[in-house]
Structure 1
Amino acid sequence: MAPVATRQPPRLADRSPGITGAEIVAELVPPPQFDHASFESYRPDPDFPSQAAAVEKLHEFAAVWRAQRPGGFFSRSRKPKLELPGIYLDGGFGVGKTHLLAALWHAAPGRKYFGTFMEYTALVGALGFADAVKQLQGARLICIDEFELDDPGDTMMMTRLLGALIETGTRVAATSNTPPNSLGEGRFAASDFLREIQAMSSNFETVRIDGLDYRRRDTTGRAVKVEPEDLERMVSVMLERGEHVTQDDFGALMRHLGTVHPSKYIKIISGVDVIAIDDVFLLTNQTDALHLVAFIDRVYDAEIPIIASGLPLNEVFDAEMLAGGYRKKYQRSQSRMVALTTGELPPHAE
């Protein structure tokens, strides 16, 4: 009797999705884990007073909208303090910047958008600068998570976009990311951001948030790896249960990510319950490493667990990368890899 053919899981490397401007706009909302993020559900670390101070600053920033609502819990007899149209949350990874940015988004009335720096630059690429401005004009609030300083051209394009929106009354909130060749923490990133946007800097108030990466507070700090035979068994069991699991060789997946614009990574993982990766190895090419960072960000936002064999995922970046200008970006990704492989995904990710 002939053996029964084993069902093969689909591969992410076989997915080459397209994405339109309309689809990007439709996705400009906080990730699912922040559906109910609020200032009240943010838990400041008492060892770092700047976290509670940041919540108060954002309350003040949102006071303009609250004052416009007649009556209700947030109504106040005094006029709100005059605020700058932009606020910039500066701090390390895992201190709650994204949670607070999403909480501000939820507090804003009317039309509003929330996305990563990469998603907004992809929108401009899909629609063109003028049409992107038309699409976003009239929004009460634009939230930009992880404002990138990696590409000077993209950075200056985004500052032009924000300038055009602020001129028409849109308010802007952003969180920080590490600029290239910066080994400094916190305020160094903030000063570089403000310098890059030049004349725009007077529109932004910088709010520093200190603290520890709370994703590491309850984890061992190392991504879980499984033996190859165990990975195969786990994938087979999940397929039998009807779960949507994909399985890719790490090298093939990395080559594929290099052929797809990072704005499309979210569609690559659409509908997937679990991602299995075979034979993870050390990366020595920085372009590959940055593609992996962008991919892990999308997987983390989608809360898709990863099972992997080979090198523990959080050890894929070589020593030169971890000592270079993208150090904080790699460290944030390592933290997320630990969470994705240990099942320690928090209810509010950052």
Structure 2
Amino acid sequence: MHLSDILRAPKAVLHDHLDGGLRPATIIELAREHGYDKLPTEDPAALGVWFREAADSGSLERYLETFAHTCAVMQTREALERVAAECAEDLAEDGVVYAEVRYAPEQHQERGLTLDEVVEAVNAGFREGERRAGGRITVRTLLTGMRHTDRSAEIAELTVAHRDRGVAGFDIAGGEIGNPPARHLAAFQHLKRHNCHFTIHAGEAVGAESVHEAVQVCGAERIGHGVRITDDITVHEDGTATLGHLAAYVRDNGIPLEVCPTSNLQTGAAKDYATHPIDLLRRLGFRITLNTDNRLVSGTTMSREFAHMVEAFGYGAEVFEEFTVAAVESAFLPLPERRRLIDEVIRPGYAALRRG
């Protein structure tokens, strides 16, 4: 699959962090406006390189430290609107037709914004970004509770209050070690009582037991990353595999995995693209979605993730259509909207690619 075809291919992303995808030039401009003087450089190209190199540590905790700079410049209504609008523009430019972008409202209150004001600003920015993109993209948000704080129940209530107004669901993120998802069980129970969607980061820095807790204890509909589910899979010398009970449950129930290959390499969840477990999981029948995680921090886009998969596994348009359809089918959108995207945008887009 050639680069030009990759760029043209319609894409869907379910796992993309707003504070991990800013334009370097925007960070520098907002830092000046905010009086933030802790950036390592004010050269946009050099700053982009700094973020990627700082994240290439093999540690999830070190990876997460890079977000201090982006969150620092996302503390006003104007800044949040700008960042969200540019996010939608950048995704659309990369061929993304549907995106769920997540962020933690509690991290944007240093200058006095209420949680509701944060959500309203981000939603306004995305609507502006959709307009600038000429309607080529639909963006919904996931409100994130942080694993290491005690505000997840509050953010769950915020999610319910703002659903149907641009908010599609809820997420738990942050360092996994020492912060199991069940610590936030009250938040998940509140969401369930209100029939509200949620996903949980699991199986990234911690093994299959974190996936078990997210699925069986907390009731996650999707798993953010989830690649450590391979801890419950035994691959034999002849290439066959035996699934443990957890892996079989996740696969057989079609629980989507939000796989982010480049990010996994940075945090040490995978060694390299060629041995990344995405191909094994796909061949075993897991529901795989391909994602960016953090476009700035990982130096990636959906097209770059596609290109890495072409180089590592020889994937063609058929596989990327499979991933994209799986993502839309797994989206926290009403069924008619998912069907429309698949039937009117995704399938025709890939059919056009095959025709050349």
What TM-score do the two structures reach when normalised by structure 1? 0.25
Tell me which protein shows more helix as a share of its residues. 2
What TM-score do the two structures reach when normalised by structure 2? 0.25
Q: Which has the larger radius of gyration?
A: 1
Tell me which of the two structures has the higher relative contact order, counting C-alpha pairs closer than 8 angstroms and 6 or more residues apart.
Answer: 1
